[in-house]
Amino acid sequence: MARCGSGAGPCCCCCCCGERESRTPEELTILGETHEEEDEILPRKDYEKAQRYEAVKWVLVFAIGVSTGLVGLFVDFFVRLFTQLKFQVVQSSVEECTEKGCLALSLLELLGFNLTFVFLASLLVLIQPVAAGSGIPEIKCYLNGVKVPGVVRLRTVVCKATGVLFSVAGGLFVGKEGPMIHSGAVVGAGLPQFQSISLRKIQFNFPYFCSDRDKRDFVSAGAAAGVAAAFGAPIGGTLFSLEEGSSFWNQGLTWKVLFCSMAATFTLNFFRSGIQFGSWGSFQLPGLLNFGEFKCSESDKKCHLWTAVDLGFFILMGIVGGLLGATFNCLNKRLAKYRMRNVHPKPKLVRVLESLLVSLTTTVVVFVASMVLGECRQISSSRHSGNDTLSLQDISEDVNSSIKTFFCPNETYNDMATLFFNPQESAILQLFHQDGTFSPVTLSLFFLLYFLLSCWTYGISVPSGLFVPSLLCGAAFGRLVANLLKSYIGLDHIYSGTFALIGAAAFLGGVVRMTISLTVILIESTNEITYGLPIMITLMVAKWTGDFFNKGIYDIHVNLRGVPLLEWETGVEMDKLQASDIMEPNLTYVYPHTRIQSLVSILRTTVHHAFPVVTENRGNEREFMKGNQLISNNIKFKKSSILTRAGEQRKRSQSMKSYPSSELRNMCDEHIATEEPPEKEDILQQMLERRYTPYPNLYPDQSPSEEWTMEERFRPLTFHGLILRSQLVTLLDRGVCYSESQSSASQPRLSHAEMLEDYPHYPDIHDLDLTLLNPRMIVDVTPYMNPSPFTVSPNTHVSQVFNLFRTMGLRHLPVVNAVGEVVGIITRHNLTHEFLQARLRQHYQTI
């Protein structure tokens, strides 16, 4: 983007040579001549600045990792505190009331805890609605290039981190790992800016990273750090950010993201190990979710973690996991649509009541199932064997301490209560490492109840994650398969923990449809590289099976929000389309010198983020009227574009009706009337018949208007560059303009730093006080526009357009023909799968 140097002032153009003074500013820009201030910058100074910039970036990446780890520590500490307090009170009450027959009182105590925690979580979501859910769909959209309002604000991370600990402590079937990804992304977005909307009085003059691309890089690092802190998987976090998030990537970013993930993992590990074990400096707890060590007992010589024969069962489990995941996603999609129609339009209190209803139902189901449906199972004596390794003894002691003996005699435990009356992480460890058996009936009921309640819960107005509920649900499914194979087929050599792990991977893969990153996350969580092959095969089969029916859960929620998310690539059949088939021909543009009243009218009547800077090309128009073949070929498609989209454009024009503010209308004393063209069937024929009729004088008095005829909308326009909405608003806010009686050289010049002072929160055009500005003043936009943006030809294949748009991280792509005329513009909306499919159907209909 071409801007004056930081030293430019109001008179920066007065020192030009005689030849430059003889040219207008737009001619200098079009000819590619630069300001002298840019030529005076020494290469060594640029090199030192780049080195300093890179060093600061590494420091900030480390700070983001440490901060994300501390957020995870905060969430984990208070979740453990509240959960232990709740279960201690309720468990003692249940044991006491078992003899006295007052279990209803125990249920009321449990309801009191859970409803209070869930109510607090819902209140926090009312404060910041975007804090609801896991946040992964929103972060996925942001990294894909779509700005979701409020998704990376300080208030969001406060409500998210505080709300998720109340959601988990409140007994809902949600996890804290998903919101950790959102929290890390918010830290990554806010920390390098050193400012916040919520804390307006705290302002630092930090001159670095004032661009959307830098911000997305830091958000990528923060999201990866969130995964790393949640699962103790720094490599998996890096791959997650690459696979699920960013629309563009580079090698330098890979190193920084991995470094950030490592910092988050070891920061959380350091503090958790010191707080829980008192051994500061040791690293024993790498993540919020720890799967423990999978290892057969040395006394069991027949035991193997897995064999080649087991791969067949793993593939079948992957197919079933894909089917279950597709069913889960289908049900949740229907629930989300129902909420959008019947819950969200109503007062916000209705959302809180829905959350309380889910909490009430979950609590009653958990309590009744634990008291009535559980079976008393014998505690295995093998855990007391002296042949086990130290690590296995530690795991066994941890698992043994979390079993529940409700209504069961000594040396037995209640298997249903053990799964329901424990934190979800402890229940997963029970299914992975419990030597005793769980009843097939108990596992089936637990899976069914957990499946339905977690599906109902995901989407209510509380911060909630989906990773841990899916893992727990899948682990129950895998453990059920292992029990059936042992009991009915006689396969005594299988290791139940392996099947529980594969079941968890199959169900989670069927729900979220992740492959590479999820494989590495599970391998790092288990610390067992030999599980790599079965986990990868299971996840691939689960994804292929689920994709046959619907999309992943995060993609479904992205589509429900109507976000224009770009896929990794387009289909082969899309190459039948060209840029001219998908572009938006109805352009809103500005001239190099435009009056203030025209700019305000454009900004207040449109929502576009960029505008082409053009001049009228009357010479090319006359050549076209004479039948010049080259011009005719390059804008031949305009006729069909006009005819097929005229109705759509009229509707959009009606919906965009708006007028300048009253103060501007009062100050304008001239009104330019436009002549209505005669009604004729062929709009291109109208142009031919009016070849000698001059266009209305629109330079610089009048902006493109909804009242223009189709002929006026599609006049030949020479393209000179792009100007952003934020830049135009900044110029108006700072009063950068000149009067008609003066030269454009008298216009004040803003430096690069001054243009970015309000980043990332630029003022809104509707909030500006423009009463002191004369609407007849003229703004010269040429020093601030981008004179060389990426452009494509109208004949470019859609696959090439898509790859350029995605790999370069673009938001606007002008379509320019062979003679330099802008004929349309492409945004990410024009490249979404749904839009391309619609255009492909139109293409087939016109053949």
Q: Looking at the structure, tell me whether residues 552 and 572 fall in a common domain.
A: no
567: burial class by Cβ within 10 Å (0-12, 13-18, 19+)?
middle
**Which contacts qualify for 89-96: CB closer than 8 Å, 24 or more apart?**
89/113, 90/421, 91/404, 91/421, 94/406, 95/406
How many structural domains are present in the chain? 3
**Residue 303 counted as domain residue:** no
- Supply the mean pLDDT for the chain: 76
Does 49 reside within a domain?
no
Residues 593 and 553 in one domain: no
pLDDT tens digits along 771-800: 777 888 888 888 888 888 899 999 999 988
Largest Cα–Cα distance of the chain, in whole Å? 103
What is the domain-level CATH number for residue 264?
A: 1.10.3080.10
Within-domain flag for 46: no
| Same-domain check for residues 545 and 574 | no
Distance CA 224, CA 238 (A): 5
Q: Give the residue numbers spanning the domain of 69.
A: 55-277
Q: Looking at 546, 561, 576, which one is the last position of a domain?
A: 561
* pTM, 2 dp: 0.76
- Same domain for 228 and 326, yes or no, is no
Residues 480 and 344 in one domain: yes
Strands 593-595 and 822-827: unpaired
For residues 512 and 518, what is the distance between their CA atoms, to the nearest angstrom?
Answer: 9
Domain endpoint, select from 277, 296, 328: 277
In a domain, 298, yes or no: no
- Provide the 10 A C-beta neighbour count for residue 676: 8
pLDDT of residue 23: 53
User: Is 5 part of a structural domain of the chain?
Assistant: no
DSSP 218-241: HHHHHHHHHHHHHHS-HHHHHHHI
Cβ atoms of residues 220 and 246 within 8 Å: yes
* 591 and 555 both lie in a single domain: no
Write the pLDDT tens digit of every residue in 263-313.
Answer: 999 898 888 888 877 777 777 777 778 787 777 766 666 667 778 888 889
- Based on the fold, state whether residues 271 and 323 are members of the same structural domain: no
Residue 163 is assigned to a structural domain of this protein: yes
**pLDDT surpassing 90 at residue 318:** yes
Shared-domain flag, residues 245 and 120? yes
Question: What is the end-to-end Cα distance of the chain in Å, rounded?
Answer: 41
Same domain, 550 and 588: no
With beta carbons less than 8 A apart as the criterion, state whether 122 and 174 touch: no
The verdict on 552 and 581 lying in the same domain is no
**AA letter at 284:** Q
- pLDDT of 283 reads 73
Domain annotation covers residue 653: no
Domain CATH for 606: 3.10.580.10
On whether both 151 and 225 belong to a single domain, the answer is yes
| Beta pairing class for 412-414 and 376-378 | antiparallel
Per-residue pLDDT for 596 more than 60? yes
Assess contact for 98 and 126: CB atoms under 8 A: no
Instruction: List, in order, residues 6 or more apart from 210 with CB less than 8 Å away.
Output: 756, 759, 760
Distance, CA of 234 to CA of 220 (rounded, Å):
13
Alpha helices per DSSP H over 402-495: 415-420, 424-433, 440-457, 467-484
How does pLDDT run across 208-267, given as a tens digit for each residue?
Answer: 666 777 788 888 899 999 999 888 889 998 998 887 766 667 777 888 899 999 999 989
pLDDT at 604 > cutoff 70: yes
| 243 in Cβ contact with 230 (< 8 Å) | no
pLDDT tens digits, one per residue of 527-571: 888 888 999 999 999 999 999 998 899 989 888 887 877 777 787
| Amino acid in position 700 | P
Are both 455 and 315 inside the same structural domain? yes
CA 178-181-184 angle, to 5 degrees, is 150
Are the C-beta atoms of 553 and 328 separated by less than 8 Å? yes
Domain boundary, last residue among 561, 578, 602: 561
Token output for 95: 């044991």
Residue 515 resides in a domain: yes
pLDDT higher than threshold 90 for residue 356: yes
Amino acid type, 547: D
CA atoms within 13 A on the CB side of 73: 21
Residue type, 802: F
Neighbour-count burial of 28, counting CB atoms closer than 10 A to its CB (0-12 exposed, 13-18 middle, 19+ buried): middle
DSSP string, 554-601: HHHHHHHTT-----SS--GGGGG-BHHHHSB-S---B-SEEEHHHHHH
